[in-house]
Chain A
Amino acid sequence: MEIPYTVKPRPDTGLYNAKVGIWLFLASEVMLFGAFFSAYILLRVTADHGFWPDVATGWPHGLLNIPIGTFNTAVLISSSVTVVMAWMALRENNFPKFRNFMIFTVICALGFLVIKTFEYKEKFGHYVIRLNDGKALTGHLDVNGKSPLFWTLDTVKEKGLESLKVQVDIPNKYRFPVGMHVPEETHRAHAEGRHHDDREIKVADIESLKAFIPSTHPFFAIYFTMTFLHGLHVLGGAIVLAYFAFVGTKLWKTSPEQFTNRIEVGGLFWHFVDLVWIFLFPVVYLL
């Protein structure tokens, strides 16, 4: 006996098996990401005041690059549109059109991941520096024209450096460490409308130096965990969709209906991945 309703929908439910399966799977995914969002809320509302140099909430804010994040959001939303177009092309029996849209979708997915990788790298070379006088600042290090990653104060001391060249972040409308006790020169640079505040800081004046990596603050822990998990979903989705666009097309010749179903199911997953980002973007970039 064959397993029924793998292709045709069951009359009383109106669904074929894989469609029921993917909706259930997505329900469990909602619970998975829901748990992370809940964790984000709980960590944020219980954050200790003064724990991050930002005195207002103890929670880092405005450290992510909003224009890039916005661009990436647009990339994902476009891919969500084209995956539907690909499915509709199959319904119209237009296979070349399907393939073009599907390949575009996969390119968007890969583009998203590439951009995200550069964002990660930028954060690994972005530092929060506390000074002995109680002030604090964020910025990139400039060591012989290079921006080193993953340094700590111990690394600086091991290299025998006596002072550090730092490109201090200027508060602006995209990047605004609220209420942070930044040095006065930085405020002056802001008032004068300069984009950088390059300064030499004596290593002896530094109390701590930490890169923007997960162990530095729960914000980075949850930011990297959630976006990494989301990135894995993007990667998984891209692999499956690429399979449908290239290797899996054999099925189109033997069973076009089943192939169309697979695209629909893959598309549902892809929409979900997109939807998670729609929530993730405002929560970690904007709020």
Chain B
Amino acid sequence: MQTATSHSSTGHGQAHDAHHHEPGFFQKYIFSTDHKMIGVQYALTSLAFLFFGFLLMMAMRWQLAYPGRAIPVVGGLFEKVLGSDMAQGGVMQADLYNSFGAMHGTIMVFLAIVPLAFGAFGNYVTPLQIGAPDMAFPRLNMASFHLYFVGGVVMMASFFIPGGAAKSGWTSYSPLATLADPVNLIDGQTLWLIGMVLLITSSLLGAVNFITTIIQLRAKGMTWMRLPFFVWAQFVTAFLLLLAFPPLEAAGLMQLADNVLHTSFFLPSGLVTSGGPVPVSGGGSPLLWQHLFWFLAHPEVYVLILPAMGVVAEIIANNTRKPLWGYRSLVYAALAIGFLAFIVWAHHMYMTGMGTKIATFFQTTTMMISIPSVIILTALFISLWGGSIRINTPMLFALAFLPMFGIGGLTGLPLGLNATDLYLHDSYYVIAHFHYVVAPGTIFGLFAGVYYWYPKITGRMMNEVLGKIHFWGSLVCMNLIFAPMFIQGIRGMSRRMYDGGATYFQDGAGADPGILNLNISITHAAFGLALFQMPFIFNFFWSINNGKKVTSDNPWEATTLEWQTPTPPPHGNFETEPVVYRGPYEYSVPGAKKDFTPQGQPG
């Protein structure tokens, strides 16, 4: 990607200089310490994982729509590679469904979206936007990516060991997670835990690096209230990762001990399975795992959403050609989310019988955290008011983010309230809710970011027509997939059932089996969604060499600092030390010559 575009930086007198210490292939692409190359590494790896996680889902969707029918095209391959106890005759077996389900969640959250939102965009854009030459600790940055990559390899390897990958959900509740596989020295869950420890370590190092960079390396004049909202979002995200991940690392190490050393951290006394009493000492607490897990996993939700909000805010300000409405409110709301995110975790655990007093505490904090989220969404909506909006692909994705995230957020309220959650818990309603937040929410925000910053990274624009096909197709399919799941959930369909609940409804449990038919239309929509990603994949690679060349370093006529660098930015980013004179969103300032005034423009 970089070689194809390096000549576009020749106009800036860098090429000759760079020629003398041209690093070798490994130095440049594998062991690079440049935040931009690391950002691109993160982007390519995480996009690949995003696609892979989606493919796992497609196989599962086939099983849900047509239980017991061989998976077309890949069914035979599954049988050959993963064994006939996983895919007998190409038909997905329960174990395979469970492991695909667990790995879909794990891959999407920890290997795809967080690395894309935080690792890729954070790495590439944050130092540019604050006017820094690189991250504060470049070698640590490289180590973060390598740990992430190795963690991903371990996760992938777990598919191919006897017994298959982890199959206890991405939540890996004990004692199920410890007992799911027959006792092997290395089973899928063990590899999952080792992979998680690597990924967590990677995130921790990244978080330290990001926060230090934002505190220490802001350019002259870049005061806190002149930071673009994207940087604020990354800042809060980094704090969430820094403080919420270690408890999961602790929990992961304890579950690893349960698996390998046969300790009983999470195994209660008197545990009996179909194979008889479990030969462990017992005396542990399954609830302990849930607490430690959700202490991470709820803040993780905000790790997923905040960077996307940051991207969307940048793009909305740029394309409405007016300042963001309520910049300070946005900042304070993001900070409030950061604090409150740590005291809502047990709303995932109402079903554990925690008692009304504790449940009341957690549903109160949960309602409180919805306030700053609504503030952010409202401020972004009001920002549209009276703007002369440029409709391009990044803006379409950013605009779609708003209602999609709105649906996801509002449908979360019944889950945050104890009384309604007891009914909706573990149903497809939950799936629909958080997928609305993450899929047409976060992922749309990230697509917007890819289209928006692509010309800065490559020097060429992505194709607009293909972009619009990608957008409209994805928007329609996403809604056709997730909206019916609300209905299924409200009608009582449980998640994590490998036949989609068919056996459950056979007993005539009073539910309408008609909702099972929705599985078929959902699956068709999922295949449609896959189809509409093809223009994006083609566009992404084709435009590297064939996209429309940018005519200036600032093709979107934006105000923030990353557009004041050469395209693509050379090592060290800025040709002269940047100085900041104004806030991040000075669009359409009355009396100014142009409708945007860059942050680095004096006067």
Residues of A within 8 A of B (CB): 1-5, 10, 13, 15-18, 20-21, 24-25, 27-29, 31-36, 38-39, 42-43, 46-48, 51, 58, 213-218, 221-222, 225, 229
Contact = CB atoms under 8 A, between A and B. Distances in A.
Interface of B: 132-134, 136-138, 140, 204, 207-209, 211-212, 215-217, 242-247, 249-251, 253-254, 257, 261-265, 269, 280-285, 287-288, 291-292, 295, 572-574, 577
B207 A28 contact: yes
13 contacts: A1-B577, A2-B133, A15-B216, A24-B211, A24-B242, A25-B204, A27-B243, A28-B243, A32-B246, A32-B250, A38-B247, A48-B269, A215-B262
B228 to A, nearest CB: 19
Given A21-B136, A42-B288, A222 B265 contact: yes
Contact of B204 (A28, A38, A215): A28
A225 B254 contact: yes
Residue of B263, B264, B287, B292 ringed by the most chain A CB atoms within 10 A? B263
Nearest to B250: A35
A16 B217 CA distance: 10
Given A28-B245, A43-B285, A3 B263 contact: no
Contacts of B577: 1
A262 B250 CA distance: 28
B568 to A, nearest CB: 16
Nearest to A22: B208
Contacts of B285: 42-43, 46
B265 A10 contact: no
A282 to B, nearest CB: 20
CB-based closest 4 A-B pairs: A35-B250, A32-B246, A35-B247, A1-B133
B264 A35 contact: no
A215 B261 contact: yes
Residue of A4, A17, A217, A218 ringed by the most chain B CB atoms within 10 A? A218
Contact of A217 (B209, B242, B253, B283): B283
Contact of A28 (B212, B242, B257): B242
B137 A20 contact: no
A15 B212 CA distance: 10
Contacts of A39: 250-251, 254, 265, 288, 292
Given A31-B245, A35-B295, A218-B263, 5 more contacts: A24-B242, A28-B243, A39-B251, A42-B288, A225-B263
A48 B264 CA distance: 13
Nearest to A213: B261
Contacts of B283: 43, 47-48, 51, 58, 217-218
B216 A17 contact: yes
B243 A31 contact: yes
A43 B288 contact: yes
Contacts of A51: 269, 282-283
A221 B292 CA distance: 17
A248 to B, nearest CB: 15
Contacts of B250: 32-33, 35-36, 39
A33 B249 CA distance: 10
Contacts of B251: 35, 39
Residue of B211, B212, B285 ringed by the most chain A CB atoms within 10 A? B212
B263 A221 contact: yes
A28 B246 contact: yes
A283 to B, nearest CB: 15
A28 B577 CA distance: 33
Contacts of A31: 242-247
A199 B217 CA distance: 70
A28 B208 contact: yes
A1 B281 CA distance: 60
A34 to B, nearest CB: 7
Residue of A29, A32, A39 ringed by the most chain B CB atoms within 10 A? A39
A279 to B, nearest CB: 15
A80 B211 CA distance: 28
Contacts of A33: 250
Contacts of B207: 24, 28
A146 B152 CA distance: 47
A9 to B, nearest CB: 9
B265 A221 contact: yes
Given A28-B207, A35-B251, A1 B280 contact: no
Given A28-B204, A28-B246, A34-B247, A216 B253 contact: no
B36 to A, nearest CB: 14
A206 B292 CA distance: 38
Contacts of B573: 1
Contacts of B253: 225, 229
Nearest to A226: B250
Contacts of B295: 35
Contacts of A43: 265, 283-285, 288
Contacts of B572: 1
A17 B261 contact: no
A215 B280 contact: yes
Contact of A32 (B209, B247, B261, B264): B247
Contact of B281 (A15, A25, A34, A217): A217
A222 B250 CA distance: 11
Contacts of A213: 261
Given A24-B208, A32-B247, A215-B280, A5 B254 contact: no
Contacts of B217: 3-5, 17
B208 A21 contact: yes
A65 B577 CA distance: 61
Contacts of B211: 20, 24
A20 B216 contact: yes
A2 B207 CA distance: 22
A111 B582 CA distance: 57
B286 to A, nearest CB: 10
B284 A218 contact: yes
A21 B133 contact: no
A27 B239 CA distance: 10
B281 A27 contact: no
Contacts of A217: 264, 281, 283
Contacts of B269: 48, 51
Contacts of A225: 253-254, 257, 263
Contacts of A18: 137
A34 B247 CA distance: 8
B53 to A, nearest CB: 27
Nearest to B288: A42
Contacts of B246: 28-29, 31-32, 34-35
A17 B212 CA distance: 6
B257 A214 contact: yes
B288 A13 contact: no
A225 B216 CA distance: 36
Contacts of A38: 247, 291-292
Contacts of A48: 269, 282-283
B503 to A, nearest CB: 36
A38 B251 CA distance: 11
Residue of B140, B247, B269, B281 ringed by the most chain A CB atoms within 10 A? B281
A13 B247 CA distance: 29
B21 to A, nearest CB: 15
A1 B215 CA distance: 18
A35 B251 CA distance: 8
A222 B265 CA distance: 8
Contacts of B138: 3
Contacts of B288: 39, 42-43
A276 to B, nearest CB: 13
Contacts of B262: 215
A35 B136 CA distance: 29
Residue of B140, B264, B573 ringed by the most chain A CB atoms within 10 A? B264
Contact of B212 (A1, A24, A229): A24
A5 B284 contact: no
A34 B208 CA distance: 18
A146 B249 CA distance: 39
B18 to A, nearest CB: 14
A216 B217 CA distance: 51
